[in-house]
Amino acid sequence: MPKKTVEDIDVKDKRVLLRVDFNVPLNINTGVISDDSRIRASLPTIKYLVSRKARVIICSHLGRPKGKVVESLRMAPIAQRLSELVDLPVITASDCTGPEVESKAGKLKEGDILVLENLRFHPEEEENDAGFARKLAGLADIYVNDAFGTAHRAHASTVGVAKYLPAVAGFLMTKELRVMEKLLHDPERPSACLIGGAKVSDKMELLQNMLKRVDMLLVGGGMAATFLKAEGYEVGHSLVEDDKLELAKKLLQEAKEWKVPFLLPIDAIVAEEIRAGASTRVVPTTNIPVASHIVDIGPKSIALFQNGLKKCRTVMWNGPMGIYEMPQFAQGTRAIASFLSTLDATTIIGGGSSVEVVQEMGLTGKMTHVSTGGGASLRFLEGATLPGVEVLLDRK
């Protein structure tokens, strides 16, 4: 990796501002964390800093308070859970800047951990305000970014502070970048990219970039309807982005020219209403009823996709195959997740929805890599530069 990591600097007795992504699902009524995987993901970096006798100052956002203090989105429950996981006391602050925070940061001893209050209680965070960034940076001697999930955001805590402190990557950030770089530039062949989700517009740049890099593209989910319509098929009431039809046609044509197999669903589950308990049936994608919605890929499509993927040595999956939030329409998505967990291949799961499914099914440990950053991984694989990575020190 071309960026310096926490192992490249001396952190002993230094105050380290550690940006993490502790934006975990939290019950706003009880304060109970339903999934602590994002906290666990940064434990290697936190434990490393503690073992090297650094004075650790952790900052993160939680939820979308929109620049205001929201009591249910305070960091106290996260700090408590972190304390349990590292088996060490964790100090908390009632803000992320100001005299109280400066005092607590100044009194930290070697190996101490301080968790700052929710960064997004301040509108200056998302505005990348220079003054706010300077105040955060003033708490520490070194900046470590371990929040891959926010690396695509140019915020004060991801970009601004790097102007005032030596900035390096944590272990989680390093792992995510190495996985994504290998996927883009040196995947084990054959490689495939399986893309789902609702809108083509959300993934078009990803498809365009990956078309040149993989040996097979597969598209399911709601976005498949736009490609099916581009090929001249009826798709009923399914969501279609008409302004993307020409791009879809162009992509399909480019796939033919590049001789990259581009698999679309050959059958679908359709329903006249998108609601729980709706009547459904399986139809070929060449014969979608005018009054229906495509709600999932069908059994023949599942078999088609599985047959293509089983030949691959690297598979990246981003996006569900249907309206997975409704169990009745989640069978295609769940079947794909289950199948990927059995492959003797490098399997990379990116995107919030795909990650949620894998976690819900208990398959995380059976995948090679489950990304902690849906938006960041998407931007990276589109070929874009991530602001939170660009500001880190170069190895050279």
Catalytic residues: 38, 199, 352, 375
Question: Rounded distance, CA 148 to CA 376, Å?
Answer: 7
HSE-CB of 261 using CA atoms within 13 angstroms: 18
Question: Rounded distance, CA 251 to CA 257, Å?
Answer: 10
Contact in structure between 192 and 308 (CB atoms under 8 Å):
yes
Q: What is the DSSP letter of 302?
A: H
The continuous run of DSSP H or E covering 209 comes out as helix 200-211
Concatenating the DSSP letter of every residue in 124-141 gives HHHTT-HHHHHHHHTT-S
- Residue 56 tokens read as 């650790």
Q: What is the DSSP letter of 7?
A: G
What distances in angstroms separate CA 262 from CA 229, 249, 328, one per listed residue? 15, 12, 27
Instruction: Report the candidate in 178, 209, 176 with the shortest Cα–Cα distance to residue 193.
Output: 209
Question: Rounded distance, CA 209 to CA 388, Å?
Answer: 21
Rounded (5°) CA angle 88-90-91: 150
- Residue 293 tokens read as 């919605």
